[in-house]
Chains A and B, each alone.
Chain A
Amino acid sequence: MHIAVYLPLLLPLLAARGAVPLARRLPPRLATWLLTGAAVALAACSTVALALLAATAAVRIPVLATIERYSLAVVARDDPASVWVALAAALLLAAGGLALARVAIRRAQALLATHRHTRLLPGEEQLVVLPDPSPEAYAAPGRPGRIVVSTAMLDALSPAEQDALIAHEISHLTHGHHLFLATAHLAAALNPLLRPVSRAVGYTIERWADEDAAQDAGDRPVVARAVGHAALASAPAPRAPRPALGLGIAPALPRDAGDVPRRVAALLIAPARAQRVLLVAAIALVLVAALATLEAQQDFEALLELARRAVPGSPVA
């Protein structure tokens, strides 16, 4: 337990470093599943590890030792963590639990409010066009989900680009992308080290929907133009003449490029192929965290067992 219990607490740092390259280089559907799954697994492992560390403080409470009939001396001798570490773990555990509850409640409220407002939208069609001078387009999940596009957004796009935008939003609704995002956000609430992972999921679901739209249209550049024109229409800057439809050669992206240019650039090159190295590394990371957690838990149980045996007349002695 001495080392194993700390591994699940450190591995999320590695996951945070790896999330961005993974999100950019793996096909978006695979990346979304992998990042969301890893976030959940790592959040669970680190929470169990914190609970084990906190438990080492709890087992030193004399009353507990008397009731549960184990030897305090054995616990104190073999205990892997100092009282301070254990107390810090207990605090982190409580903070994580509170943050999780807070995010869960807020997200549930937002979902309910969205359902309420979606029901007020006119008509029965999935697509709702709202007269509105600001360019807006979004998918509101629900049963059925609705796609809301403002007249100003439609004005900014060519008919083919409008189709691409709608295909993108349909993909969000069909694949329940908001659920992936919610799951990743909850994991990151439990363990804030995982925030870069949940941000990466926000990017991969957009890429997933972009790729679906591209497949739908049988045309990647048209989706790139739809994303680009929509973003420029929403940007607070003077509108230059509509860009010529000939797309530029994709320049090398600067490191600090934002999500929208990245999505456009990704659509202008060939679709990503799964890179086995990244995939294996991500799965290995999660496996190590899981095994370390299991190991730490078994060590803790062994410690208690030892402490129980040290008490004469205890049931296990």
Chain B
Amino acid sequence: MTTRDRRAPGSLEKQVWALLLDAGRPLTTGEVRDRLHEQTPAEAPLAHTTVVTILGRLHGKGLLTRSLDGRAHRYTPASTPEGVAATRMHQALADEGDHEAVLSNFVSGLSGTDEALLRRLLGQDG
């Protein structure tokens, strides 16, 4: 089991999403894979099919638009008003520390023991 396998569900999705937001232009699957590897050079690069799956999932959720460039698909964040707003809100949240206190988040962070406890409370074996 590599460390990547133990990541949060969707954590790769988040990483790919952030990467495409930052890219500023449509990227191919290969480019996404290379950039992911640049971000975490210590880890083995992801399999091409894994990246295809992640991009497919994000596309399926309507978060990405896909265009055919030669034989490769290029992906870019869907430029809906919601997408733009999401980007702005995220930047705003990241910028100012006191935002945390103004925006009431539904759930705060969980520690490891909290998580096990929570699973027990929910009747789920952890």
A306 on the interface (CB 8 Å rule)? no
Contacts of B98 in A (CB 8 A): 106-107, 109-110
A131 on the interface (CB 8 Å rule)? yes
Contacts of B123 in A (CB 8 A): 243-244, 246-248
- Which residue in A109, A169, A247, A257 is a CB contact (below 8 Å) of B122? A247
Q: Which residue, of B5, B58, B104, B109, has the highest number of chain A Cβ atoms within 10 A?
A: B104
B88 on the interface (CB 8 Å rule)? yes
CB distance A138 to B106 under 8 Å? yes
Q: A182-B101, A254-B113, A254-B117 are in contact. Are A230 and B107 (CB under 8 A)?
A: yes
A232 to chain B, nearest CB (A): 6
**Among B9-17, B24-32, B39-47, B68-76, the stretch in contact with A:** B9-17
CB distance A131 to B92 under 8 Å? no
B111 on the interface (CB 8 Å rule)? yes
CB distance B101 to A120 under 8 Å? no
Q: A243-B119, A251-B121, A261-B121 are in contact. Are A107 and B62 (CB under 8 A)?
A: no
CB distance A234 to B104 under 8 Å? no
Q: When chains A and B are docked, how far (Å) is the Cα of A237 from the Cα of B104?
A: 23
- Which residue in A140, A148, A224, A237 is a CB contact (below 8 Å) of B102? A140
A282 on the interface (CB 8 Å rule)? no
Give the interface size bracket for B toward A.
Answer: 35 or more
Chain B's closest residue to A135 (CB) is: B10
Residues of chain A in range 132-149 having any CB-CB distance to chain B below 8 Å = 132-141, 148
Chain A: interface residue total (CB-CB under 8 A): 77
A113 on the interface (CB 8 Å rule)? yes
Chain B's closest residue to A131 (CB) is: B63
Chain B's closest residue to A239 (CB) is: B9
Q: Which residue, of A107, A109, A114, A225, has the highest number of chain B Cβ atoms within 10 A?
A: A114
Chain A's closest residue to B16 (CB) is: A133
A264 on the interface (CB 8 Å rule)? yes
Q: Which residue, of B62, B80, B122, has the highest number of chain A Cβ atoms within 10 A?
A: B122
A130 on the interface (CB 8 Å rule)? yes
Chain A's closest residue to B100 (CB) is: A110
A162 to chain B, nearest CB (A): 11
A260 on the interface (CB 8 Å rule)? yes
B23 on the interface (CB 8 Å rule)? no
B110 to chain A, nearest CB (A): 5
- Which residue in B78, B115, B125 is a CB contact (below 8 Å) of A237? B115
B59 to chain A, nearest CB (A): 11
Contacts of B5 in A (CB 8 A): 238
- Which residue in B63, B101, B108 is a CB contact (below 8 Å) of A259? B108
- Which residue in A128, A134, A209, A260 is a CB contact (below 8 Å) of B14? A134
Q: Which 8 A-B pairs have the closest CB atoms?
A: A243-B124, A248-B123, A110-B98, A137-B106, A122-B81, A133-B13, A258-B114, A130-B86
Q: List 14 A-B contacts (CB under 8 A).
A: A114-B92, A114-B103, A131-B61, A133-B17, A137-B107, A169-B104, A185-B101, A227-B107, A228-B122, A234-B109, A236-B7, A238-B9, A239-B8, A257-B113
Seen from chain B, the residues whose Cβ lies within 8 Å of a Cβ on chain A are 5-11, 13-14, 17, 58, 61-63, 78, 80-83, 85-86, 88-90, 92, 95-99, 101-111, 113-115, 117-126
Seen from chain A, the residues whose Cβ lies within 8 Å of a Cβ on chain B are 106-107, 109-111, 113-114, 117, 120-123, 128-141, 148, 150-153, 165, 168-169, 172, 177-178, 181-182, 185, 205-206, 209, 224-225, 227-240, 243-244, 246-248, 250-251, 253-254, 256-261, 264-265, 268
